[in-house]
Structure formats: structure tokens, C-alpha cells
Amino acid sequence: MSTGTAKSMTRLQGKKAIRSFARKMADPETIKDLNITPMMDMMTIILVFLLKSFTSSSALIQLDQNLQVPASTTHLKPKEAVPITITRKVVLVEGSPIVPVNSGRVDPTYKPQGDNGYLIAPIKDKLDLIAKREMRVAERMGHKFEGELMVVADKSTPYRLLTEVLYSCGQAGYANYRLLVLKSAD
């Protein structure tokens, strides 16, 4: 410390000052003024936001020999939505296999109306569960449930199969969809 107006403190006086400060901090009267409720609210909101963004991430699409996505010259950015993937072998919802695809068709046993029906029951059932979850999250976040899908289909997918999948999605409340394509080199 500098000489002049400031007094120098001995080591013993320094220790006493630290102990006195520690006693004041340990006093329950001092701690009762600390309100952690706003911090807990903030952490809950952050947790819900992170769960929402991880559960419906549209950035991770794995391509393999059973999925060749068509090219396009579009300039739109992909939006966060529930991913539906139609490969040559299976239909996936959020990455989970739902129904097998054989020769561009879904087995009629998965369709309540038979071979000529459009509804594929396992897809509708899975999307009903996802829609309930998304509605709860949207309600808690103060948003409106949009019911948006991101459809990733193989370029050789028959139109009939694509129509059946989109019809089944619509029956579960998902009427808005975007078809994912690869950006061409042009």
C-alpha cells in the first residue's frame, strides 16, 4: 500500500477482516435475499429450446445407395421440420424405419383400405405421436403448431408411393411439406 492517507494493514488484521467477511456471507439473513426462481425459469426455457432444435433437426440427411436425391436449381434454405425419408427399401420417420418398400410399393397389410387405399397406418400412427409432442412444445413456447414436413425421396420413387405417404401424413395433421432436393452445380 502507498504511504500517506492509506494505513498499512498487518497480516493479523487482514485475517480478521477475511473471517468477518466470511461470517457475514454465511449468515442466513444475507442468503435469503438471493432469488433463484428467474434463473430456473431461464434454464427451463433454454432446455426446451435445445430439445426442440435437436428433435427436429433437418440438417442431417444420410445418403446411401438406396437414396439418390434429385438435383434442383432452388435457392431456398431448408426449414426445421419433421423429416420423412422414402428410400427404395423403407419409409423412415425421424430416422426410424416405419414400413418396408418392395418394388416401389408398400405391402397392403399396412393399409387399412387394402391395396388400392392411400392410408398407410404405421406412418399415420407415428406422426400422430410426433404431432402431440410438437403441439405441446409449440404451446409451451407460445407458437402455433405448423404441421410441417421435410420429405426426402429417392429420385426413382413412384408417384403413387409418394402420394400415399403424403396422404398418410396429412391424416396425422401434417398438411405442409417441402420436398428436399440437392442443389445442382449450375
pLDDT grade for 2, boundaries at 50, 70 and 90: very low
Please return the burial class of 112, using the count of CB atoms within 10 Å of its CB with bins 0-12, 13-18 and 19+.
exposed
The residue assigned the cell 426413382 is: 156
Query: Do strands 105-106 and 96-102 pair parallel, antiparallel, or not at all (unpaired)?
Result: antiparallel
Most confident by average pLDDT, 33-42, 55-64, 103-112: 103-112
Lowest-confidence segment of 20-24, 125-129, 130-134, 163-167 by average pLDDT? 20-24
pLDDT of residue 129: 92
pLDDT of residue 165: 92
pLDDT of residue 33: 64
Higher pLDDT among residues 34 and 4, named by residue: 34
Q: Is the pTM of this model over 0.85?
A: no
Break the chain into its structural domains and give their ranges: 62-183
Give the helix, strand, coil percentages of the chain, each rounded to 5. Answer: 40, 20, 40
Nearest Cα to Cα of residue 152 among 106, 88, 105, 99: 88
Residue 79 and residue 112: Cα distance in Å, rounded?
32
pLDDT grade for 3, boundaries at 50, 70 and 90: very low
Q: How far is CA 74 from the centre of its chain?
A: 24
